[in-house]
Structure formats: C-alpha cells, structure tokens
Amino acid sequence: MSGTLADLLARGHDRVAIIGADTPTLPLEHVLRAFELLKDRDVVLGPSADGGYYLLGARDVVPEIFRGIPWGTDRVLEETLKILKILGLPRVVLPVWRDVDGPEDLEEIRRGLASLRQSDPTARHTREALAALAT
C-alpha cells in the first residue's frame, strides 16, 4: 500500500484512496467523503467491522503507518490509529463498513443485497456472482 500511495502521489495526484477489493457494497458516498476530508487532513481511514480498514486515503506517504502492523488481525485499525496519534496526525475515520473475509461475511452481504430492488445498481456484479454460486 505504501508503494502504491507513493507511486500515485509521485504521478501528481494530490489525494489518493486505496479501497479493499473485498468491500463490494461500499457506498460511493464513503469514498467521496474520504476525498473531501483529505482536502485538509493527511490520512483518512475507513474502518471495517472486523478491526481492519476498507479504505486508506492519504495526501502524503506516511510510511510509519505500515510498519509493525499485525496484518490480518482484528488490531490493524487500532494499531494504525495509535501510530497516527504518536505522529500527531488527526485520527479521521469514516463510518464502519463490512468487508468479506469468510463465508459468514459473504452470506451477510448476500442477504443485504437480496433485500434490494432488482433495478438497484448496488453491487450488480456481486449479486450476479452470488446468484451463479447458488445454482
């Protein structure tokens, strides 16, 4: 992630957001809010329900937030926020959102998507994939 941020910022982008591929129902509003917050903040995090984060937005590379993190655990967000505090950077977080780490997460997303109207474009490809898996 650090390398991706560095590369995109070096290409002239003034704000970058990295989003997890495992958040198919993430509302566009959360992403837009991240970019809005990055106008006057260095780092924005979107916490996932499992203790990690689904979005990392930055307007500068802060390599310290990637060091010593217990990746793949429920302490990723907590430890990242501690580092931000030590660095004196504001702790800016978006609303919590659910990502997909296991079958139970996928089932929860399937149930949520099933409750939407057929014409709703939310996670259309995810809905199609889940329907194909069910057959």
Strand partners, 55: 19, 46
- Sequence-ordered strand ranges (E) for 21-96: 43-47, 53-58
pTM (two decimals): 0.87
b/e map of 115-126 (b: 16 or more CB within 10 Å)? eeeeeeeebeeb
Closest CA to 25 of 110, 83, 94: 110
pLDDT by residue for the chain (135 residues), tens digit each? 999 999 999 999 999 999 988 898 899 999 999 999 999 999 999 999 999 999 999 999 999 999 999 999 999 999 999 999 999 999 889 999 988 888 888 888 888 888 888 788 888 888 888 888 887
Query: How far apart are alpha carbons 84 and 67 in whole angstroms?
Result: 12
Q: Cβ–Cβ contacts within 10 Å for residue 59, how many?
A: 20
Q: Which domains does the chain have, with CATH numbers?
A: 2-87 (3.90.550.10), 103-134 (no CATH)
